[in-house]
Amino acid sequence: MKQNHWLIIAAGALVGLAALVLTASGNPGNMGFCIACFLRDIAGGLGLHSAGKVQYIRPEIIGLVLGAMLMALAGKEFKARAGSAPALRFVLGALVMVGALAFLGCPLRMVIRLGGGDITAISGLVGFVAGILVGVVFLKNGFSLGRAYKVKQAEGFVLPGFMVWLLVLLLAVPAILKFSAEGPGSMHAFWAISLVAGLVVGALAQKSRLCMAGGIRDAFLFRDFHLLSGFLAIFAVILVGNLILNNFNPSAQVQPIAHHDYLWSFLGMMLAGWGSVLLGGCPLRQLILAGEGNGDSAVTVLGMIVGAAVSHNFGMAGNADAMTDGVFVPGGVALAGQIGVGVGLALLLVISVANLRKEGAK
Amino acid sequence: MIDARGLSCPMPVVMVRRELDKNHPSDLEVKVDNRTAVENVSRFAGNNGYQVEVQSADDDEFTLILTKKA
């Protein structure tokens, strides 16, 4: 038990370290590792959306899934399972993405932004916690997406196979993919560094069960702080690393790829937190579970990719604050994004109520 | 007996918690089918005054016997 505890702290510390290394190697500021942003970039790289600044096939995501798969295979934990409300999970994955992209980051990037001194991310954290609390209320009252079943092994290799295919495309025929010439999508570490970082983090996250939503959820639901220690380790390493590297910039003004629209950051991350609790884990955890052979999580990841495409195609993603020629140009969440987050929260309420067990607290 | 096979976390722990809160059993048998659930149920039971014995015939199914500590 104690060994497990150190494992999750080590995994969290390593995620923080990987984020620092990746940022130093070329990834965007306060975006060493961001599942939502990187899935969004992959959606763009495949031409599913046409936001020119966020298109790239991120090897970190490929590494995460494959690292988790290899660790699960080595530990005899790779199991093909599916059948727990896949269509609902697809929708939930898409909604989590709409919320995260309104805020401009998944729960992992939220912590990375906080560790870089991005004060605007505090409203995202408060919203994330609020969303998790709402989800916990439904869990306590019998919410469940139902059980999964053992399925043929091939089902478990769908997302890892897709990731291998993406890697082949990236390395062999990059010309058929779309790559940003400017903006966050154009900023990336050398592919091998990204891939290795993903593989290592994926393997450790699989072994340690690291989950950004699970930590806060378990603290409220069971007074169990095990997973939360991984979350805190990420923050601590990012904070100390940024202080050492002189990258800590405590301010609410023009942070890297962030906006100061506090209300919609709160509501966006509330959507992401609530949706993650209903799914049983944050976007990072969904990638890891898909790597372990979980077909439902694979469908969730595909839903997240589609959600990212929809977010950008319909102008729902947040716009970053900018400083242009010395003039502050505020970003924020446009009306389309506000409607998207509002509709998303309403849909979560419907899904949460519709999946309560009839016997309630029994 | 709680059958939490096919359920991913936190559902198995939620089910165990519900049973412990409601009936305070002196012992409880829990069936799960993944190691994450084994770890999480064991940790929860340990934190709530139960000893846990894990039985498994293969890696596909685990039976946890929870016994209240004296």
Q: Which pLDDT belongs to residue A360?
A: 43
- The question of whether B9 is a catalytic residue gets the answer yes
- Whether residue B24 lies within 8 A of chain A, CB to CB, comes out as no
Lowest-confidence range among A256-270, A281-295, A302-316, A317-331? Answer: A317-331
Q: Which pLDDT belongs to residue B54?
A: 95
Mean pLDDT of the region A14-22:
97
Amino acid (one-letter) located at A154: A
Q: Phi/psi of residue A236, each to 5°? A: -60, -45
Q: Which positions ≥6 away from A240 have C-beta within 8 Å?
A: none
Instruction: Enumerate the residues of chain A whose CB falls inside 8 A of the CB of residue B34.
Output: 77, 79, 81
Contact B34 A221 (CB under 8 A): no
What is the Cα–Cα distance from A34 to A19, expressed in whole angstroms?
Answer: 9
How many C-beta neighbours within 10 Å does residue B57 have? 8
Tens of pLDDT along A62-80?
A: 999 999 999 999 999 999 9
Q: Is the pLDDT reported for residue A1 higher than 60? A: no
Mean pLDDT of the region A95-99:
98
Residues 50-69 of B with CB under 8 A from A: 59-60
Q: In this structure, what DSSP letter does residue B53 have?
A: E
> Using an 8 Å Cβ cutoff, are A313 and A49 in contact?
yes
Instruction: Enumerate the residues of chain A whose CB falls inside 8 A of the CB of residue B5.
Output: 147
Instruction: Enumerate the residues of chain A whose CB falls inside 8 A of the CB of residue B13.
Output: 221-222
Q: Is the pLDDT reported for residue A359 higher than 70? A: no
Q: How far apart are the first and last CA of chain B?
A: 21
Q: Taking CB atoms and an 8 Å cut-off, how many pairs form between chains A and B?
A: 64
Instruction: Enumerate the residues of chain A whose CB falls inside 8 A of the CB of residue B36.
Output: 209
Q: How far is B34 from chain A (nearest CA, A)?
A: 8
Mean pLDDT of the region A218-232:
94
How many C-beta neighbours within 10 Å does residue A6 have? 11
3-state secondary structure of B64: strand
Q: Which pLDDT belongs to residue A17?
A: 97
Per the DSSP assignment, residues forming a β-bridge with A319 are A332
Mean pLDDT of the region A348-356:
98
Mean pLDDT of the region A208-218:
95
Q: Is the pLDDT reported for residue A228 higher than 90? A: yes
Per the DSSP assignment, residues forming a β-bridge with A332 are A319
Q: Which residue of B has its CA nearest to A138?
A: B14
List, in order of start, the domains of chain B with CATH numbers. 2-68 (3.30.110.40)
Q: Which residue of B has its CA nearest to A224?
A: B44
> Using an 8 Å Cβ cutoff, are B45 and B38 in contact?
no
Amino acid (one-letter) located at A159: L
Q: Which pLDDT belongs to residue A361?
A: 43
Tens of pLDDT along A290-314?
A: 999 999 999 999 999 999 999 999 9
Q: How far is A68 from chain B (nearest CA, A)?
A: 14
Percent over 90 (pLDDT), chain A: 95
Confidence of residue B70 (pLDDT cuts 50, 70, 90): confident
> Using an 8 Å Cβ cutoff, are A53 and A125 in contact?
no
**Of these residues, B1, B3, B6, B9, which one is catalytic?**
B9
Q: Which pLDDT belongs to residue A168?
A: 98
Q: Which residue of A has its CA nearest to B9?
A: A280
Strand runs (DSSP E) across chain A, as ranges? Answer: 81-82, 149-150, 322-324, 327-329
Q: Is the pLDDT reported for residue A252 higher than 90? A: no
CA-nearest of A35, A88, A30 to A210 is: A35
| B6 closest CB neighbour out of A4, A148, A280 | A148
> Using an 8 Å Cβ cutoff, are A48 and A273 in contact?
no
Mean pLDDT of chain A: 95
Determine whether A190 is exposed, middle or buried from the number of CB atoms within 10 Å of its CB (0-12, 13-18, 19+). exposed
ipTM exceeding cut-off 0.85 for this assembly = yes
